[in-house]
Structure 1
Amino acid sequence: MIAVTAFKWVPPFAAGQVRDHRVRWILNEAGWAYEIRLLDAVDQKSAEYRALQPFGQVPTLEEDGRAPMFESGAIVWDIAERAGVLIPSDPVMRAQVLTWYFAALNTLEGALINVSEAEFFLPDEAAKAARRPQVLPFAEKRLSELQLALGDRLWLVGETFTVADLMMSSVLKIAASLDMLKAYPALQVYFDRCLDRPAYRKAVADQCATIAAHGPRDMRYREAQAAG
């Protein structure tokens, strides 16, 4: 059986965004059964979990007979490859899919996370106002470049949805949460197209249902803080 880790609860702005949704999504696309192992803040700090995920993040993936994995990008590609889904067999197209897959993670995601951190994690409006000019223009530049590269194509590579589109649209969820996509109509249409998949809808619905069923107390933040 495959086990994927996820948080019991996160603040409302993060519901549907936590990266375990990517792993749920590809597992749903593959039609593979899995279970979710829920974590709180005490679990995150435990020696057992740090042996599995040195940084205390989610998701991780454990599977009978295989070495455990962490990092959503690594897990998603591994599952897609082993399941034979969303990766073209043609070597040229496969290389293009791999390139766009890493472009999502390396070129787009970091720029968007900088904006997200400014909006959701800085303590007050003055700090946010000071930070926005430092991070927003670069993120907007990356979105403009992506829209230009996409052109009028339906998908990043070829004529069908691939794992590159899965990862790119997952990253674009950050931009959507910041209301940035309205300035990029072609990206908005592409984004909506990518997310219009049963496997995605189930992944996010399941994550959000778990979060809604829990609250901050379930995360045991005070116990984790007291433990050091």
Structure 2
Amino acid sequence: MTTPTLFYGVPSGCSFGSIVALEWLGQPYRLSRIEMPEVVTSDAYRQINPVGETPTLMDAQGNFLSESMAILNHIGALGIERKLGFAQGTRDFDRLNQQLAYLNTSYFGAFAPLWHALEGVDESDRPALVRYGTEQVRHVHQELEAMLGERPWLLGEHRTVADAYVSGIARWSKYHKVLNVEDFPNLQRLYNQLEADPAVRFAHAIERQAPAQSAGGFRGHVTLEEVLAQR
């Protein structure tokens, strides 16, 4: 058995949500900081994730798991007693999987044109990308606003790994400055609640390399090279 290790991407990676979920889980874990795009596309990192993306999780058996949805479902299965996830085959599991799928495709994907506009595209293409991305981001916020309704958390009375995931993506709206979240009061309420959460504050501090107060599970950082040397 080994201490699970999350390889998270900076700056502003969606892996932020997996850090939050691990903090909520409360079990021992380590972190490995992966700079984007330099390290994440390197031959060394591709040894554990051939796609060259974050996050990647090394589990307690030393197996590597990639893709946020898969990692969050893995964490959720370990956190059923904390209601972070649910037993497969139940209605609640299906609801969680549906919410994660929406966040992982529609919500995440809406920001793709805006990220692409920042990545060295031809100047003549940038306005169209920003225009399209802005429309898409507003659209998915309208959808998520309706899905959330008056519930305190995305699935109801208890926070789940879906809320952890949205904490990492929602901040992209502020980063790209394409809409005012205050126009979506249900989402604003959820975002405020998440930003006040100790696990979310911990994840922000980790990204900034500032002093970070864990709920107890964090066992420190390890380098990619150290992990590869132990394989």
The normalised TM-score by structure 2 is 0.75
Tell me how far 1:111 sits from its aligned partner: 0.7
Structure 1 residue 28 displacement after superposition: 0.9
Match of 1:37 among 25, 32, 41: 32
Alignment root-mean-square deviation, CA: 2.6
2:135 counterpart residue number: 137
Q: In structure 2, what is the Cα distance between the partners aligned to 1:122 and 1:143? A: 27
Structure 2: gaps spanning 5 or more residues: 211-231
Question: 2:7 aligns to what?
Answer: 5
1:91 deviation in Å?
2.1
Determine if contact 2:7/2:31 at 8 Å carries over to the other structure.
yes
Alpha carbons 1:101, 1:168 under 8 Å: kept: no
CA shift, 1:162, in A, is 1.5
Paired amino acid for 2:42 = K
Alignment length (residue pairs): 201
Question: Partners in 1 of 2:59 and 2:146 — Cα distance?
Answer: 40
Q: Identity of paired residues, percent?
A: 23
Q: What SS is found at the alignment partner of 1:61? A: strand
Q: TM-score, normalised by structure 1?
A: 0.76
Counterpart of 2:52?
Answer: 56
Aligned AA for 2:95?
Q
Q: Residues 57-79 of structure 1, C-alpha deviation per residue, up to 9 Å, x if partnerless?
A: 22222234242111222112201
Secondary structure of residue in 1 paired with 2:194: helix
2:150 is paired with a residue whose SS is coil
Residue identity in the other structure for 1:87: G
Distance between the aligned counterparts of 1:140 and 1:122, measured in 2? Answer: 24
In structure 2, what residue type is equivalent to 1:20?
S
Cα distance 1:187–1:39, how it changes in 2: closer, same or farther (>3 A)?
A: closer
More helix by share: 1
- SS of equivalent residue, structure 2 residue 58: strand
Q: 5+ unaligned residues in a row in structure 1: which ranges?
A: 211-228
**Other-structure match for 2:92:** 93
For residue 168 of structure 1, what is the amino acid of its counterpart? V
Identify the residue that residue 149 of structure 1 maps to in structure 2: 147
